[in-house]
Amino acid sequence: MLESISPTGSWREERLLSTEITQQDLDFDSTHIWHPYTATVNRPPMYPVIGGEGVRLTLSDGRALIDGMSSWWCTVHGYNHPRLNAALKTQVDQFSHVMFGGLTHKPGITLARQLVAMTPEPLNTVFFADSGSVAVEVAIKMAMQYWQARKQPRKRKMLTVRGGYFGDTSGAMSVCDPENGMHHWFSGILPQHHFVHRPGCRFGESCEDQHLYEARTFLADHHQTIAAVIIEPVVQGAGGMYFYSPDYLVKLRALCDQYGVLLIHDEIATGFGRTGQLFALEHANVIPDIMCVGKALTGGYMTLAATLCSEHVSTTISEQGPFMHGPTFMANPLACAVATASLDILQEGHWRSQVQMIEQMLTEGLMPCASMPTVADVRVLGAIGVVEMKKAVDMQQIQPEFVKRGIWVRPFGKLVYVMPPYIISPDDLNTLCSGIRDVVCRQNV
Ligand SMILES: *Cc1c(COP(=O)(O)O)cnc(C)c1O
């Protein structure tokens, strides 16, 4: 009886024995699976990947693509890295997961030690989160609980700059850029926070007091209700790929101190060498009270993020009671083990010269686009290269053009951008840049 009404009781799926991706698989995908920011109807086709090695992704038809995206900032050491593979295999034979409530384990402790050692004092307390968005939620909650513990419960709003991206969960979304973010779909539901203009001083320019006029006036008027300022240091990522002057952060830190407001840095995209410094905060020598890391943390192998805070923040909260967050998969041992291996590779220091080489070659390779009438701006910082077009690119048309040239580049809106794995060779970088020049930097695209 139950059998006939229970879909699980009669669960039978069609699965071919091979791991090959068939047309049926792709048809199933296109009608049954959500991909990031897509509809399930009239969806453009996805490219099936069957392998990865170094900077190359292998498609099911045998083509290899040079990955210009590091799978969204993550795969800094490339795919199928022997040391990362080994770290996972060793851990999987011990245990893959265990709850972190009441229990602890070496992979978590080792990784926390590394994070504390590589971030500046006094960022000495680590909260392991399961994705970047969650790390941001945790940071916001920490700031709110901190002020409750300080008996100033009115301080519960965030202040941020426009053009930011902090993730897709509600709390994170609520501080994303209010226009190009996702606010309008969820208006009335999202927490209301405060925005000032994005930093007007670009990277390489000096930042004057007038650039913080709006933030200063806002904090002067409203600091009694502001828990924290949250910002992506130096590079605004998915909100616009915009690089601003590190001086802005110095002056912002001073404002936060003056008005008794915590400072949260989101280094989820910028962390672990991407901007040419291990963390973007090092461009400014500014230390936040709370800092989020994610993305490249595991070398792109598994989902893991962390929120670090100063001992002052963790102690202040803890003297009043527990911090109220605890994901099921907190400090997943597999993810921690592979993260440790990834940080070990970074610690050997080759990333610095690799990122420098990438910066130089991206500059030479992409700058010629700047003179094209369709291009608004070209900018490069560390291992990040951006060609900003005047109009949004036509993805349906442009994506196959990149693939035809053997490169994986995934623009959004007006932004064609790359952040390749640090291990990319000069030859592959040339192919990447010439592919972009070829496809994007022609007239009439
Ligand atoms: C990607 C990103 C996030 C969100 O991370 P997820 O792992 O996708 O949840 C948050 N902040 C910044 C700056 C990011 O680039």
Q: What CATH number has the domain bearing residue 270?
A: 3.40.640.10
Confirm whether 4 is domain-assigned.
no
CA of 424 to the centre of ligand 1 (A): 23
Mean of the per-residue pLDDT values of the chain: 94
Q: Supply angle C-alpha 183, 188, 192, rounded to 5.
A: 70
- Whether residues 198 and 158 share a domain: the answer is yes
pLDDT of 157 over the 70 cut:
yes
- The sign of the torsion formed by the CA atoms of 282, 284, 285, 291 equals negative
Treating both helix axes as pointing N-terminal to C-terminal, what angle do 395-404 and 426-440 enclose, rounded to 10 degrees? 140
248 is catalytic: no
- Is any atom of ligand 1 closer than 6 Å to the C-beta of 435? no
Q: Look up residue 18 and give its DSSP letter.
A: S
- Whether residues 299 and 433 share a domain: the answer is no
| Inter-residue contact 261 to 219 (CB < 8 Å) | yes
Confirm whether 7 is domain-assigned.
no
Instruction: Band the pLDDT of 432: cuts 50, 70, 90.
Output: very high
Confirm whether 11 is domain-assigned.
no
Confirm whether 256 is domain-assigned.
yes
**Cα dist. 147→152, 226, 277, 320 in Å?**
5, 9, 32, 11
Domain boundary among 322, 347, 372: 347
Range of the structural domain that residue 112 is part of: 85-347
- Whether residues 104 and 117 share a domain: the answer is yes
Confirm whether 74 is domain-assigned.
yes
Contacts of 219 (CB under 8 A, 6+ apart): 159, 226, 255, 256, 258, 259, 261
Instruction: Band the pLDDT of 84: cuts 50, 70, 90.
Output: very high
Question: Residue 121's pLDDT is what?
Answer: 95
CA of 130 to the centre of ligand 1 (A): 11
- Whether residues 50 and 122 share a domain: the answer is no
- Whether residues 354 and 431 share a domain: the answer is yes
295 is catalytic: yes
Question: Residue 362's pLDDT is what?
Answer: 98
DSSP one-letter string for 93-120? TT-S----SS---HHHHHHHHHHHHHSP
pLDDT digits (tens, 9 = 90+) for 203-232: 999 999 999 999 999 999 999 999 999 999
Edge-to-edge strand list for the sheet holding 262-266? 123-129, 305-310, 290-293, 262-266, 226-231, 157-161, 194-196
Which percentage of the chain shows pLDDT scores above 70? 95
**Cα dist. 229→1, 245, 251, 439 in Å?**
58, 17, 12, 40
pLDDT digits (tens, 9 = 90+) for 20-68: 899 999 999 999 999 999 998 988 889 999 999 999 999 999 999 999 9
pLDDT greater at residue 12 or residue 323: 323
Mean pLDDT of 258-276: 98
Per annotation, catalytic residue among 247, 266, 289, 428: 266
Question: Residue 311's pLDDT is what?
Answer: 97
Q: Supply angle C-alpha 133, 135, 139, rounded to 5.
A: 115
- Whether residues 278 and 371 share a domain: the answer is no
- Is any atom of ligand 1 closer than 6 Å to the C-beta of 269? yes
**Nearest alpha-carbon partner for 129 in 298, 279, 318:** 298
Confirm whether 26 is domain-assigned.
yes
| Inter-residue contact 286 to 310 (CB < 8 Å) | no
Domain boundary among 317, 347, 377: 347
Nearest CA, atom 3, ligand 1: 167
- Is any atom of ligand 1 closer than 6 Å to the C-beta of 171? no
pLDDT digits (tens, 9 = 90+) for 381-390: 999 999 999 9
pLDDT of 281 over the 80 cut:
yes
Question: Residue 13's pLDDT is what?
Answer: 65
37 is catalytic: yes
Q: Distance between CA atoms of 267 and 294, rounded to whole angstroms?
A: 8
Contacts of 321 (CB under 8 A, 6+ apart): none
Question: Considering only 27-31, 68-72, 267-271, which range has the smallest mean pLDDT?
Answer: 27-31
Q: What is the largest CA-CA distance in the chain?
A: 75
What's the CATH number where 53 sits? Answer: 3.90.1150.10
Confirm whether 2 is domain-assigned.
no
**Nearest alpha-carbon partner for 268 in 146, 177, 172, 132:** 132
- Whether residues 51 and 175 share a domain: the answer is no
pLDDT of 17 over the 80 cut:
no
- Whether residues 329 and 434 share a domain: the answer is no
Edge-to-edge strand list for the sheet holding 415-418? 375-381, 384-389, 415-418
- Whether residues 377 and 258 share a domain: the answer is no
Residue found under tokens 């989160």: 129
- Whether residues 71 and 91 share a domain: the answer is no
61 is catalytic: no
Mean pLDDT of 153-177: 96
Question: Residue 187's pLDDT is what?
Answer: 84
* The overall pTM is greater than 0.85: yes
- Is any atom of ligand 1 closer than 6 Å to the C-beta of 237? yes
pLDDT of 4 over the 50 cut:
no
Q: Which bin fits 204, alpha (ψ -120 to 50), beta or left (φ > 0)?
A: left
Q: How many domains does the chain divide into?
A: 2
Domain boundary among 320, 347, 374: 347
CA of 414 to the centre of ligand 1 (A): 20
Nearest CA, atom 15, ligand 1: 269
- Whether residues 41 and 143 share a domain: the answer is no
Contacts of 179 (CB under 8 A, 6+ apart): 162
Q: Distance between CA atoms of 351 and 277, rounded to whole angstroms?
A: 10
Query: Residue 320 half-sphere exposure, CB side, CA atoms within 13 Å?
Result: 16
Confirm whether 23 is domain-assigned.
yes
Instruction: Band the pLDDT of 183: cuts 50, 70, 90.
Output: confident
- 201: tokens are 């001083």
- Whether residues 62 and 92 share a domain: the answer is no
- 248: tokens are 């802005």
Question: Residue 12's pLDDT is what?
Answer: 66
pLDDT digits (tens, 9 = 90+) for 85-120: 999 999 999 999 999 999 999 999 999 999 999 999
Per annotation, catalytic residue among 37, 61, 151, 209: 37
Q: Distance between CA atoms of 137 and 150, rounded to whole angstroms?
A: 20
Question: Residue 445's pLDDT is what?
Answer: 45
Question: Residue 1's pLDDT is what?
Answer: 41
pLDDT of 6 over the 60 cut:
no
